[in-house]
Chains A and B, each alone.
Chain A
């Protein structure tokens, strides 16, 4: 930028690379391209901001401590708070799904990138993970319904966690593998040169170097899982009271309650749906910040 203000001082030896020295046509093209890019960013941002604005505007007046803890009213037409059971359900179901899928997914990615590389098995797993990413969530719900719910004979929160874990797993495997691939081989070689075994290198060097990217991938997967409705409705049933037990009894989540309340004709139910939407956004936000913080502590600094 400073060179642009001082075109007179240029010497013959150093060509003027500032924008002012460009021909008019190229400057015009440059400006147009910049404008288009800014417009594209704005266009992408507008829906996001509008969504946030709407959820905030409609939900803020509804969410309070009572809303977050009280039972869900059975009569949809009755005004008043209550999403406590759904908050608990969202936390334990998504939490259990994360516990199931993140260790498995990261270990799978370590195998693919550090051990399997281009072997036949690794390539098959990679392809299957890509295929699984495209499976619609309701299909995963039906799959869990057939193999778990019907076998156990009850719709439970754990069944929902299983379905969400199946949805999260391929996302975590693929994103973690990409992140591990970005770790420079020099780090691995340096570690090996110091006499560290391969597992030691993976645990102490490769994973910490990639941890922030892996966390981002895991958080995206968790956010996607927390926002799923279809599998929950299929395999978790519904409750209006808080059920802390994952393995027994029906459960419910915020997304399922948003869906249920939004289709009711009553204003009170619509209010609860907006409140639940705001609560869900806040939960995802809090966990993203937490995960960033923890990942920051793990990461190798000053790379």
Chain B
């Protein structure tokens, strides 16, 4: 009995020691502190400290590309970008949990961010493709009105006269059309439907928003990849997918008729051309949807970083400036690798000027 008690105490002692060790390890600071050290003003190589951002998932691939590139260049700079979605990102920015936020949509009053407390900084843009899967048809052209009719189920077969009118000389099969859309709230849905309300305002009846009331006989998928999966699997399917995912998953895209009456395929050049034709507001928010220009691809989604006008810690401001400056200058070359369109020079200069005002 005595021995048993002893051995029990022994185990208890070992367990307690282990717990204490874990607790000590957890309390001990194994990381440099979050406050930036040293001079960050010398450019990105000398920058050190931590930066946290969160928000839109749409430009995530590009931002991660920048972060990965910086890991090699600025060893003491630690940046994280958490792709949690535009609305969550804006909320976390408002609550001061992150240093900058990524957003596909503009700030609304309900986001809780004071009007004069932040700057919009456009970073890249990317086209939203109208991807389809139709056996025997490798080239498809669609006008905005036809896209609207397809997605609100006014047109139900591929050999409909409206589609045939957009595609002279192409033999279209009588396959039924399957419409694929996003089930989750999405900036991609918002931009796609916003385009239809602008370019096909007499036809499109479903309105615009992060989610819209799709007809019951359409199919939903989660995220861009979910929509892409439906398009890949179903003959006769059509859906909207961002270029990065559509290219990775090898989908076929339709050429879309732009404002100048030309059918344009979703390419990065077409997107940059669309940005050139877009009207930029004074706060640098802009809307490249259905922009004019012969080469402009009309369904282009912009994306912004939100940064504070004034940071409490001046070193944090320097870090943010160095990071975003890198993204807007050297970093733009990385955009094409992950299928994003770099900003045209004029917009880039405006963004850099805006960034300079951060303090």
Contact = CB atoms under 8 A, between A and B. Distances in A.
Contact of A149 (B23, B34, B97): B97
A154 B97 contact: yes
Given A95-B22, A263-B223, A266-B248, A76 B82 contact: no
Interface residues of A, number: 39
Interface stretch (A22-30, A188-196, A247-255, A273-281): A247-255
A92 B26 contact: yes
A244 B64 contact: no
Interface string A278-296: 0000000000000000100
Given A149-B97, A245-B27, A265-B245, 12 more contacts: A74-B71, A75-B68, A153-B96, A237-B82, A245-B30, A249-B31, A250-B80, A263-B223, A263-B225, A265-B224, A265-B249, A298-B8
Interface in A135-176: 149-150, 153-155
Contacts of B54: 237
B11 A294 contact: yes
Interface of B: 7-8, 11-12, 15, 19, 22-23, 25-31, 33-34, 50, 52, 54, 61, 64-65, 67-68, 71, 78, 80, 82-84, 95-97, 222-225, 228, 245, 248-249, 338
A155 B249 CA distance: 35
A76 B31 contact: no
A244 B11 contact: no
Greatest chain B CB density within 10 A among A76, A154, A242, A245 is at A245
A208 B82 CA distance: 46
A241 B11 contact: no
A263 B223 CA distance: 8
A144 to B, nearest CB: 13
B97 A155 contact: yes
A95 B67 CA distance: 30
Contact of A245 (B29, B96, B223, B225): B29
10 contacts: A73-B68, A150-B95, A238-B80, A240-B67, A242-B30, A245-B30, A246-B26, A246-B27, A248-B31, A250-B82
B25 A265 contact: no
Given A246-B26, A266-B248, A75 B64 contact: yes
Contacts of B249: 265
A297 interface: yes
* Dominant secondary structure of chain A at its interface with chain B: loop
Nearest to A239: B80
A247 B26 CA distance: 8
A294 B26 contact: no
Contact of B64 (A74, A92, A298): A74
Contacts of B19: 99
Contacts of A149: 97
Contacts of A239: 80
B223 to A, nearest CB: 6
Interface in A57-116: 73-78, 92, 95-96, 99
Nearest to A150: B95
Contacts of A218: none
A233 interface: yes
A243 interface: yes
A265 B25 CA distance: 37
